[in-house]
Amino acid sequence: MRDALAGVALNARLSRQLAFCLEADKVKQVFRQNPVTDGSRKENDAEHMWHLALMAVVLSEYSVEPVDLSRVIAMVVVHDLVEIDAGDAFVYDRKAREAAAVLELAAAERIFSILPPDQATWVRDLWDDFEAKATPEARFAGALDRLQPMLMNASADGGGWVEHGIGADRVLATNSVIGHGSPALW
């Protein structure tokens, strides 16, 4: 970032915010196991997070409880930033997900601390809330996070499910948590 902004005088707060935005751009290089809808390639985390934000706007009426839509959107656009460092753990691979949990905590510390302290705390709180699923917003965001890859895989004739030999019973069991945030979407 220093080279790109050489000669531009920025205050410290703005400098940290821009550095965070540039760091966040790295999610475009984190590829997931599910394909895009036409099946031509794997989806990246940036596409996933954008799609979740759109789904939150369009589908918020299906939340099991009233939600603060702006908080849901904020949650879904930051929830996978930790994968910049930790990578994407396939939801059907329990061992990889357990290992990723430790890496994600360290990633949250590093990535969110790029921001000014007040924003770092706010973003970390969003991420912690998403992970804990203790609020209506987190449960709905979590439901969307599970629903979206199901839609991608289903639209691409099974996509990652077929590639990894994941049967319908396992898909349904793993994703039944969608019902916690939205029985209607489940």
The residues spanned by each domain of the chain are: 12-181
Report which of 66, 90, 93 is spatially closest to residue 181, judged by C-alpha positions.
66
Q: Which residue has the higher pLDDT, 1 or 8?
A: 8
**Coil, helix or strand at residue 42:** strand
pLDDT tens column, 66-83: 999 999 999 999 999 999
pTM of the model: 0.93
Tokens 């629903």 belong to 147
Report pLDDT digits (tens) over 124-149. 999 999 999 999 999 999 999 999 99
Q: Residue 10: what pLDDT? A: 77
Classify domain 12-181 at the CATH topology level: Hypothetical protein af1432 (1.10.3210)
Give the whole-angstrom CA distance, residue 163 versus residue 93: 13
Res. 3: pLDDT tops 80: no
List, for residues 10-38, the tens digit of each pLDDT value.
799 999 999 999 999 999 999 999 999 99
Mean pLDDT of 43-55: 98
Q: What is the mean pLDDT of residues 115-132?
A: 98
Contact 116, 13 (CB under 8 A): yes
- For 165, the 3-state DSSP assignment is coil
Residues forming beta bridges with residue 31, ordered by sequence position: 44
